[in-house]
Amino acid sequence: MAKRSTTGGPRSRRITEADLQRRREYLSRAERERMWQRRALITIGVIVGVSVLILAIALVYENLIRPREAVSIVEDQEITTADFEKRVRFVRWETGQQIRELYALTGDINTVSQYASQLTNPLSIGSQVLDEMEEEILIEKEAAARGITIDEAAVDKRVDEYIARGAGLTLPGAPTATPTTVPTVTPTPLVSPTPTVEPSPTAVPATATPAEGEAAAEADATEEPADTDATPDAEPTVTASPTATATLPPADIQATLDRAAEQYYDAAQNGADVDRETIRQVFYYDALRTALMDAMSADAPTEELQVRVRHILIAFDPDNTGQGLPPTDEQRAAAEEKANAVMAALQNGEPFADLARAESDDTGSAQNGGELNWQSPDGFVPAFADTVKTAELGEIVGPVETEYGYHIIQVLGREVRPLTDAQINQRRSQTFSDWLAERKAAANIERSDNWLDRIPDEPTLNQLLGDILVVQ
């Protein structure tokens, strides 16, 4: 017989899930509010935590990862986003300063507005800057291979030269020019970030003259006085009047340059948020480029064979003489017939100059009686060049066919002549440009897919020139 309980109380019962459900149903209102408050606090805490984590990740990316990401890789050498953005900001600021100088010289708000518009197109400036930074890597590699180095003293000198030109001063130890001319300000579609501008070939409008771009530039440099009116340039060039060199002791000049350089660094820092290192890097690469250019042209000749010729051009298409497009059969036949008629007239004693003025489709030389002045035959198109190298002096040769039409040619002189400084500089620049173009074409250069997104648009046009221009 089972033993009966003697406690006198109810027997304990196991709590079931149904009991718990009933208890939850009978919670007090206060208990329910506390429960929801706890849940809300937990939810808010989770949201805040996730938000802080996202913000922290964004800050780490923006300040640590993104600046180190490459916008371009040139033969395994990276151009980082940070370096690219700093250079673009500096170029934008320097562009604004040059436009200010233009305004100070001319006071022409329309011209200033025209050239200030480039600051509204970040892609244009950004593309040029990245091109130059990629080239700088290739230049530095070639300089290293040749043992060319640029030290801090050379960078300081480059800075001093730039500051001295702007202040109209002569560097201590440099030849004194009397008077010293304030640098010419020539508006260009895009102002170069390089403060010191190396001589470069001037673009020549296409003409029917058989000389190519280089020969045309040489002709300008060696042109003899002619009885013709000069044609004004299509694009205005503003040149400051010469100012006398300040007569100061060398120590005072250097102190002035040092102060001006510090002001320049500070202005760039305040105006574009770029540090001294970024600015000096621009001067460094400019000095390196010049040193490499000098090395490449060290053995360049200072004289060359030149010819003085005159010609009469009978163009395939007189309305488009500079294009050199393939002629139709009818155009070739008509041009050849006319060229033969001109040749016959010359053989019958007609003056060459008179026929050139009347019949030549090369209007640039026709007004000079067909004369092209002294220049290298290598600057002409091949068929024309071959003829002027071998023709007897004074002999009238032709018709000679080129892509422009038929030429009747007379060589007036042929001799080895010394090159002018302008010609030497032109060849120096051309040699370097040809090497750089070839080197860049052969280089392994990979730009990131998002490099366009890394182009800054600050400092803005309003920040740079808002006190001069009414910025919409």
- The tens digit of pLDDT for each residue in 364-376 reads 899 999 999 888 9
**Amino acid, single-letter form, for residue 281:** Q
467 conformational bin, left if phi > 0, alpha if psi -120 to 50, beta if neither: alpha
The CA distances from residue 429 to 72, 197, 295, in Å, are: 26, 11, 12
Q: How many CB atoms lie within 10 A of CB 411?
A: 22
Residue 26 token pair: 């009978």
Distance CA 28, CA 472 (A): 66
CB 237, CB 186: distance < 8 Å? yes
Residue 240 token pair: 């400051």
**Amino acid, single-letter form, for residue 262:** E
Q: Got the DSSP string for 22-64?
A: HHHHT--HHHHHHHHHHHHHHHHHHHHHHHHHHHHHHHHIIII
Query: Under 8 Å CB-to-CB from 458, ≥6 apart: which residues?
Result: 89, 92, 272
Helix (H) or strand (E) holding 406: strand 405-418
CB 371, CB 413: distance < 8 Å? no
378 conformational bin, left if phi > 0, alpha if psi -120 to 50, beta if neither: alpha
Residue 63 token pair: 């300040």
Burial class (CB in 10 A: 0-12, 13-18, 19+), 208: buried
Residue 431 token pair: 């040699």
At residue 289, φ and ψ (nearest 5 deg) are: -60, -45
CB 440, CB 134: distance < 8 Å? yes
What pLDDT score was predicted for residue 180? 35
Q: Would the CA dihedral through 410, 413, 415, 418 be positive or negative?
A: negative
Calculate Rg over the CA atoms of the chain. 37
What pLDDT score was predicted for residue 107? 87
The CA distances from residue 471 to 96, 188, 460, 461, in Å, are: 14, 21, 10, 7
Q: In the chain, which stretches have pLDDT less than 50?
A: 1, 177-209, 211-246
Query: Under 8 Å CB-to-CB from 105, ≥6 apart: which residues?
Result: 185, 238, 240
pTM here? 0.66
Residue 194 token pair: 């390089």
Q: What is the pLDDT of residues 171-216, one digit of tens each?
A: 776 665 443 333 333 333 334 444 433 333 333 333 444 544 444 4
